[in-house]
Amino acid sequence: MSRFDSLIIGEVARDTNVDYDGTTVQAIGGAVYYSGFAAANMGHKTAVLPKAAMTAEELAQAFAKAPNATVYALPSKRSFVTKNVYHTPDRERRTSTVDSVIDPYRTEEIPAIDATIWHLAGLVGGDIPNDLIPFAAERAMVAIDVQCMLRWVENGGMVYRDWAEKREMLPYIRFLKTDAAEAEILTGLTDRAEAARTLYSWGAREVLITHNTEVLVYDGKEIHTCPIRARNLSGRTGRGDTTFAGYINERLTQDIPTALRTATALVSLKMETPGPYMGTRADVEAYIKEFY
């Protein structure tokens, strides 16, 4: 039996978020941060492997309110420092600028951590080198948020490029997460269901695509969807990270429809409050009873 349900690999970010109305908030962020809280506070035994120009004590403190998360800090000369400016009330359109990025993860620095899932949760291209994917697949089921293969820092801005090695790497991946725009970049398709089918045909065994209206999952047999029912979007940042971490950990014990409903309710509830998910499993279960 594995010691951890999931090991989440990715950098902690120093974020400045500017809302469409000019409200500005500085906060710790990053996929590992939102994913770690989501998985741990749902009761899953979670390990996180963050990188930043912070001490091990500072990184541990960042996850202090996620009691089921164990932090294994890695050093970096630089932190990922970014600014996100949201242009619309639904926060679907944003401009991101990046001041600095971390030293990339290297296979030789990954400690021997026993986990059922290795969740690769980088933020931009270069964070998670391609060779880390087969390395992870030798040790666990691989889950990857494809943003770390599509988003690249160029002249301080963020640009999107297709993943050149996708056909080679997707067969290693048990769980693949994209949003609707990323799915289109990968496949050229605007239809999310068709994009999911294409990504499955290229090797990923379970494809999850997020959208502002719903979450979609395809496993080669059936398209499953579940609506997002957040009553406000004040906590929009971290939507995909929360959904994916919730889903893959629930899939360890639940079928697709049940895991999808739990993850979608989790992110709907999380989006009603800024920051990572600070609630409990009981809170999500109550939300499901009320809204699903």
Percent of the chain with pLDDT strictly greater than 90: 84
| Residue 40 Cα to chain centre, angstroms | 14
Q: Which residue has the tokens 């120093």?
A: 14
Give how far Cα 222 sits from Cα of 146, 158, 189, 196, 216, Å.
22, 34, 18, 11, 10
- Model confidence over 79-91: pLDDT tens digits? 999 888 888 887 7
CA 243 to chain centre: 7
Reduced to 3 states (helix: H, G, I; strand: E, B; else coil), residue 109 is helix
Mean pLDDT score, 240-251: 98
Helix locations, 51-95, DSSP H: 56-62
pLDDT, mean of residues 209-236: 95
* The pLDDT value given to residue 2: 67
Distance CA 46, CA 29 (A): 17
More confident residue, 6 or 94: 6
CATH number of the domain to which 278 belongs: 3.40.1190.20
Tens-place pLDDT, residues 24-72: 888 889 999 999 999 999 999 999 999 999 999 999 999 999 989 999 9
Output the CA angle 287-174-120, nearest 5 degrees: 80
Question: Over 90: is that where the pLDDT of 94 sits?
Answer: no
Strand partners, 119: 8, 143
- Interval 232-237 mean pLDDT: 87
Q: Which residues does residue 208 pair with via DSSP β-bridges, in sequence order?
A: 177, 217
pLDDT band at 241 (very low <50, low <70, confident <90, very high): very high
Domain that holds residue 282: 4-291
Q: How many CA atoms lie within 13 A of 131 on its CB side?
A: 6
Query: What are the pLDDT digits (tens) for 133-168?
Result: 999 999 999 999 999 999 999 998 889 999 999 999
Whether residue 195 is predicted with pLDDT greater than 90 in this model: the reply is yes
Q: Residue 1 pLDDT > 80, yes or no?
A: no
Q: Is the pLDDT at 283 greater than 80, yes or no? A: yes
Domain count, the chain: 1
Give the pLDDT confidence score for residue 82 in this predicted structure: 87
pLDDT value for 194: 98
Determine the longest span between alpha carbons in the chain, in angstroms.
49
* Residues 215 and 259 sit within 8 Å (Cβ to Cβ): no
> Looking at the predicted structure, is the pLDDT value of residue 216 above 90?
yes
Confidence of residue 213 (pLDDT cuts 50, 70, 90): very high
**Per-chain mean pLDDT for the chain:** 95
CB atoms within 10 A of CB 175: 22
